[in-house]
Amino acid sequence: MKLILSLVFFLTSFSCAYANDLGQAAEKSFSFKQLLKSISEPDLKNLNFSFPEAKAEENFVLRGDERYFITVLASTKEERTRLMELGLDIQEVEGNKVSGIAHAKTVTLLSQKGYVIVEKITFSGYAKEFLKDFPIADSAYHNYAEMVEVLQAITAKNSDIASLYSIGKSLEEREIWTLRINTDAKENEKSDKPGAVFIGDHHAREHISVEVPLLHAVWLLENRNKPEIKNYIETLDIYIIPMLNPDGAEYDIEGGKYKWHRKNTRKNPDGNIGVDLNRNYAFRWGGAGASHSTYSDTYCGPSAFSEPETQVAKKFFESHDNLKTYISYHSYSELVLYPWGGVYEPVENEKDRKAFIAMAKEMADITGYTAKQSSELYAATGDATDWTYAERGVFSFTFELSPSRWGSGGFYPGVSILEKTVKDNIAAANYLLSVTDDPYKTIK
């Protein structure tokens, strides 16, 4: 029975997923309200498959996963950076404790070095044996095919100002889709208008970082006639890339159970999977806060820009001279971070530093998040936003979206958190659009 159901589900989703024709997609329409409603209250009854004996949530231990969520004593940013280098993927900082994900080998290393590990837990999660999708309770989140479907539909409906194109392929050859909003230029055509970029999901398991830019795109196009939005659309060049790491995102949900997968799906020569895309950019690559161990979640890769996904991002930023602002979405912790991330020193250029702080504070006020220099958390080299600022002069921010803690859901907070997170972050992103014409006006 399970087999038949899974076959029916597979065929239905396969035919939907690959109905990649804009015309067909246009028949389906997605409204912001409807999407928000569906992400707030997933309509389990209307899904075209049923779950005979499966419960909504079923705990299990991820078999074969040698990682732990640990809490270690460490009180300074220097100590936190050192922990990152030893392979701990820090997620939370509270007083003299830091928590994050560590491979068993890192746990041993930390103990040998005398670090005090005060808590160590194995992963558990939702199990759904026959889905190749999000667990049912989180079905409102968009997987790759569903994201493409939404992007196609909204582009088709707004084809006078929106274009959808691939800026390159992932390692497993998935297209990295980009929705561009520009009244004059389409796809790769040159534009002299000031540009804003929003990128989600450098990190596979941070699925909420896909929802925010995706829903922002829907919202912008739906509200295109509001005077303020109309003005942004007419005067700016807006790029929304909701899923930079599609292979990782799909791998994380494959089998309907979360794998806590962060990196891309590179098979390293020793068999360990993945390179951390947010350690793979070239600026100060491989230094502070990056791990050179393939088993670590913060493995920076064999060389800078070794990965197709970061190469695609590099090419994208290098081929557009007009880009002024950028948000790289991550989760979780509720932070608005600005450069530098790789060193503790502040940005040298005073005007830039002041503008960074002014913009970050404003966006933190709007979202209720906390603004700080990235390296206050821990130093990490090879991240996206240091590179885009250093090499391309783009005012670049890393957002750590909701929730604030592992205990409130961490990477997998469920659907209840989505509505507020999406709405607050659309407001913050719109603020960034409002200053993209001249980021320095924030300090005038």
Nearer to ligand 0X9, 153 or 290 (CB): 290
252 binds, among ligand 0X9, Zn ion, none (CB under 5 to 8 A by kind): none
Q: Is the peptide bond before 165 cis (omega within 30 degrees of 0)?
A: no
The span from the CA of 170 to the CA of 227, in Å, is 38
Minimum CB separation of residue 274 from ligand 0X9 in Å reads 13
341 binds, among ligand 0X9, Zn ion, none (CB under 5 to 8 A by kind): ligand 0X9
Nearer to ligand 0X9, 27 or 94 (CB): 94
208 binds, among ligand 0X9, Zn ion, none (CB under 5 to 8 A by kind): none
Are 147 and 243 contacting, i.e. CB atoms less than 8 angstroms apart?
A: yes
Chain residues binding ligand 0X9 by CB under 6 A are 91, 203, 206, 278, 330, 337, 341, 374-375, 377-380, 383, 398, 400
**Backbone CA torsion sign across 217, 360, 342, 69:** negative
Minimum CB separation of residue 396 from Zn ion in Å reads 14
Minimum CB separation of residue 101 from Zn ion in Å reads 12
The span from the CA of 433 to the CA of 240, in Å, is 12
Minimum CB separation of residue 178 from ligand 0X9 in Å reads 21
Taking CB positions, which residue lies at the least distance from Zn ion?
A: 330
Active-site annotation holder among 222, 391, 400, 419: 400
Are 248 and 203 contacting, i.e. CB atoms less than 8 angstroms apart?
A: yes
The span from the CA of 185 to the CA of 316, in Å, is 16
364 binds, among Zn ion, ligand 0X9, none (CB under 5 to 8 A by kind): none
Are 161 and 183 contacting, i.e. CB atoms less than 8 angstroms apart?
A: yes
378 binds, among ligand 0X9, Zn ion, none (CB under 5 to 8 A by kind): ligand 0X9
Minimum CB separation of residue 256 from Zn ion in Å reads 23
380 binds, among ligand 0X9, Zn ion, none (CB under 5 to 8 A by kind): ligand 0X9
Nearer to Zn ion, 128 or 330 (CB): 330
The span from the CA of 425 to the CA of 421, in Å, is 6
Beta strand extents in 125-252 (DSSP E only): 162-169, 175-181, 195-199, 237-241
Nearer to Zn ion, 203 or 259 (CB): 203
Per-residue burial over 213-224, b if 16 or more Cβ lie within 10 Å, else e, is bbbbbbbbbbeb
Taking CB positions, which residue lies at the least distance from ligand 0X9?
A: 341
| Residue 3 dihedral angles phi and psi, to the nearest 5° | -65, -45
The span from the CA of 99 to the CA of 93, in Å, is 7
The answer to whether 189 is a known catalytic residue is no
Nearer to ligand 0X9, 163 or 404 (CB): 404
For 325, residues 6+ apart whose C-beta sits below 8 A from its C-beta are: 195, 196, 197, 359, 394, 395, 396, 432, 433, 435, 436, 439
Chain residues binding Zn ion by CB under 5 A are 203, 206, 330
Nearer to ligand 0X9, 93 or 162 (CB): 93
Minimum CB separation of residue 202 from Zn ion in Å reads 6
Are 134 and 13 contacting, i.e. CB atoms less than 8 angstroms apart?
A: no
337 binds, among Zn ion, ligand 0X9, none (CB under 5 to 8 A by kind): ligand 0X9
The total number of residues shown for the chain amounts to 444
Minimum CB separation of residue 84 from ligand 0X9 in Å reads 8
Nearer to ligand 0X9, 352 or 383 (CB): 383
For 185, residues 6+ apart whose C-beta sits below 8 A from its C-beta are: 191, 237
Q: Where in the sequence numbering do the catalytic residues fall? A: 400
